[in-house]
Chain A
Amino acid sequence: MKKSIIAIAMAASIPMLAQANPGCGLGAQVFEGKNDPGSHIMAATTNGLSGNQTFGMSTGTLGCDTSKKITFSAADLYLNENMEKVARGMATGEGEAINTLADLMGIQAEDKATFITATKVNFGKIFKGDSVSADDVLASLKSIMQKDSSLAKYVS
C-alpha cells in the first residue's frame, strides 16, 4: 500500500489528483469545497498526522487516460488549488496569491505590474462567473495575455 503510493507519486506526481475531475483537465471550481472535513479534524487534533502525503513535484501529470497523459505546469496547478485567493488577488490588484501566480508563470519583475493591472481590469472576463473552473480561468487569462504586447511572450 505504502510503496504503491510512492511509486505512483514518483512516476506520475499525483499531488493534485484529488482536485482533478474524472476527465482530463484542471477540475477545480471556484467556491467549491475541496478539503475533506475528516482529514481537517485529524490534522487539527494531532501534531500533523495525516495519511495522504506524497513525494510529488511541481509539475503534475494527471492520468485521466493512461495512453495519453497531460502535463500541467506549476502555475496551472497553483491556480487549480488557489482559485479563491487568485481571484481576490486579481480583483484587488495585490497580495501574495497573484504574485505567486505571476512568479510561477515566469513573469519577470518588469512585467509584473502590467500583469497585475491587466488581470484587475479584466477580472470579469477572466472569472466569468461564480462557478468557473480552473480550465476556464486559464483559457481566459491566456487569451487576455496574448492581446498584451508585453505579456504575450509568457503564453505560448
Chain B
Amino acid sequence: MIRKFLISFQLIFLYFVVLNVNAKPLADSLVEQASHLKLANNPAWLALLHYRKDTIGSGFTSEADDVRFFLSANGKESPEEELFANIRSFFSVDERHRKKQCQFPARYHWIKSQLNPDTFVNNECEETNKWLAELEPRSMTLIFPASYINSPSSMFGHTLLRVNLLNEKSKNPLTGYSISYAANVPPNEIGLLFAYRGFFGGYEGEFAIVPYYKKIKEYSELENRDIWEYELNLTAEESRQILRHVWELKDIIFEYYFFTENCSYQLLTLLEVVRPELKLREKFNYKAIPADTVRAVVNTGIVEKTVYRPSGTTILLNRNRDLSTAEKAIVKDLILGEEKVTELIKSLTPESKSKVLEYSYDYFRYKFSKAPGIRDNNASRSYELLRLRSSQDEPANWHDIKEPEIRDDQGHETSRFAVGVGQENNMDYLSLKIRPAYHDVLDPLPGYGFGAQINFLDLSLKYFSEPEKLEFDKLTFINISSMTPSTDFISTVSWAADVYAERKVVNNTELDVLAVKAGGGKSFLLSRHNMISFLAEGVLETEGDLEDGYSLGAGVMFEWLIAADWATSKLKLESIDFRAGEEYRTGLAEWQVSLHLSKKFDLRFKVSREKNQQLYDSQYEAALHWYY
C-alpha cells in the first residue's frame, strides 16, 4: 500500500518535472529544429495552411479568409511565424494552448511526424476523435458528376471526394461519405446577384460532409447527370490525414469564386495536403474548371480505376431500346391510360411483364423528380406497378448500360485560340479569336454533350489590310445553347441565351452594339448526331446612336447540326425583325464546317451571307483552332 503510494507519488513528481522543467524547452527546441529543417517552406505545410506563392514578390499568402485559421497574428502572410506559433501551442505546458491540437489535428499530426519529439502530451480530443472514428477511411474516390442533357451550364461541372469507409459495409460505395465544398448562398438569393457574387466574390465557401447517397440523389436522380468515379491510390493513413484537415476547415471562411477558388480547386488543396509533390494547385491560377481539374488529377497517375454510374435518364433512354414496339405501346397505356394494369399486361410473357412494369415505374419516378409537387399524382398507379412486379419472378433482363468510350475528362481542353484568314464585303482580313472556356457545338464532340454549348468571354478581332486597321468583331460574354431532341417518352424544350457586344451595320451605320438574345423551341433527331432545331427568338440591342438608344426585335432560327468523328457541320438560317426603337430587318444564312484534325486542332470553314435591309454582305473564313 505504502509502496504503491510512493510509486504514484514518484510518478506525479516526475510528471511535474517533465512538464515544468523540460516542457518549455521542448517547444523551444522543436521550434529551433523546425527552423533548422526549414519546415515552414515544406510543401505539405504550405498546403495545410492553403498558402500560395504571391504573384509579386517572394512571399506567401494563405487563401483562408478567417483569423480563426491562424494561431499567429501574421499567419495569413507568414508560413514560418504560423508554424512556430503552432509548435508553441501544440507542445505547450498549458493545457489551454495544447487544446489547439484538437482544432488542428492534421497540422499537429504532420508536425509530430516531422520532428519526432521524444516527450509530448497528446491532448484528449473527444469530439475530434469521435468524428474521425465515424469516418475511419480505407481510401478516397474523386467524384465527377458529368454534364447532363438539356443543361449546358452543368457542363461546367462539379467535383467532390468520397470517403470509402474501412468497415465491412465499405464495399458498397453508397455507404460512403462525400466531402464537398460549396458557397454558402442565402436561400431565395436573386439570380443576378447570385451570378454576380459567384463570379466576383461575396459568398463564403464551406466544406460539407454528407452521405454519398444524398449526392447520388442530387446529381443522378434530380439533375440526371451521369457520374464518373475515380478511385485514387491514397492509403488509409493519407485518407485519414485528409479528414483531419477537413476537420480543421470545419468553420473556416474562404471566399468563394465560381471560376477560381471553387469546389474543384479546394479539393486539389486537400489532395496536396498528403501529396504535395503533385503540385496540383499551381496549374490553376486563373480558372479551375472542374473537368480540367479532373484531367490534372488523372495526369498525375494517382487514379487506379474509373467507374461509370449512369443517371436515371441515361438508364431510361438506354432501356427504351430494349423495349419492343408492342411493349412500348403497353408502356404508353400504363403511363397515360386509365385501364387496369392487370388487364393491360395480362397477355405478355413473364419477362415482358417485368420489363413494362419496371419501365413505367421508372418513368413515373423520372417525371416526378422533374416536377416535384406535394404528392405524386401517379402514386397509386406507381404502387400498383410495383405490387404486381413483386409477384413476378422472371427478371426484366435489361441490357447492361455501356460505359461511354470517352469520359467527360477525356474531351478537348477548354481554352481555345484561333487564327484565320477571311473576306468580309470583299475586304481581306486576318482573324484572331480567343476563348477561355468552354465548348461550342463545332468543337470536337467526344466527352461533351451533343447539341450543348457554353462559351465564356469569346473574343474575336479582325485585322484588315486595306485600309489597314484592327477591328473589334465580337465579344460574347456568355452564350449558352441547349438543343435537346424529344424522345418517345421524354419531351424537352430547346433553348439558347446570349449576351454579347458586336460590330454590325444598322441602317447603313457601323455600330458596336451591346445585345441580349434569348430563344426557345424544339429539336428533332434525324439520326444519331444529326439534328434539326427550330427556335423563336427575341433580341434587345443597345447603343447610343440607335433610335432612342435601343432596338428590339423578334425572329425565327433554324439550325441543322451533324457531328461525326472527323468533322462537324452546322447550317443556320435566321431572320430577325426589329420593330421597336431603331427599326430594321436582318436575315442570315451561315454554314460552318469544322474538321477535327486531332484533339488539339480543328480547321474551320465558314461561309455566310447576311441581308441587312436591302444590303447583302458575304463572308468567307478559314481558321485554325487550337485547344489548350
Contacts and interface: CB of A to CB of B under 8 A. Distances in A.
Interface of A: 2-3, 6, 10, 15, 29-35, 37-40, 42-58, 74, 77-78, 81-82, 84, 87-88, 90-94, 96, 99-100, 103-104, 106, 120-121, 123-124, 127, 129-131
A92 B358 contact: yes
Interface residues of B, number: 74
Interface of B: 127, 131, 134-135, 151, 153-154, 156-158, 169, 171-172, 174-175, 177, 180, 182-188, 194, 198, 203-204, 206-211, 213-214, 217-218, 222-223, 250-251, 253, 256, 258, 262-264, 290, 354, 358, 361-362, 365, 368-369, 371-376, 378-380, 382-384, 386-387, 389-390, 395-396
A101 B383 CA distance: 20
Given A87-B386, A100-B172, A53 B180 contact: yes
A44 B258 CA distance: 14
B185 A44 contact: no
7 contacts: A6-B250, A31-B379, A48-B263, A55-B208, A57-B209, A88-B365, A131-B379
Contacts of A87: 386
A10 B250 CA distance: 10
Contacts of B382: 31, 84, 130
Nearest to B131: A57
Q: Which of B198, B211, B218 has the most CB of A within 10 A?
A: B211
Given A47-B156, A47-B290, A53-B206, A103 B175 contact: yes
Contacts of A104: 169, 175
Given A33-B368, A48-B263, A127-B386, A78 B206 contact: no
A135 B371 CA distance: 25
Nearest to A29: B375
A29 B373 CA distance: 13
A52 B362 CA distance: 28
Given A2-B204, A103-B169, A58 B211 contact: yes
A78 B175 CA distance: 9
A42 B206 contact: no
B151 A81 contact: no
The 10 closest A-B pairs by CB, nearest first: A53-B208, A123-B390, A130-B383, A33-B372, A31-B379, A48-B158, A91-B390, A91-B386, A31-B376, A100-B174
Given A3-B251, A15-B214, A55-B208, A46 B153 contact: yes
Q: Which of B185, B223, B396 has the most CB of A within 10 A?
A: B185
A10 B186 CA distance: 20
A124 B388 CA distance: 9
Nearest to B259: A47
B195 to A, nearest CB: 8
A2 B206 contact: yes
B389 A51 contact: no
Contacts of A120: 390
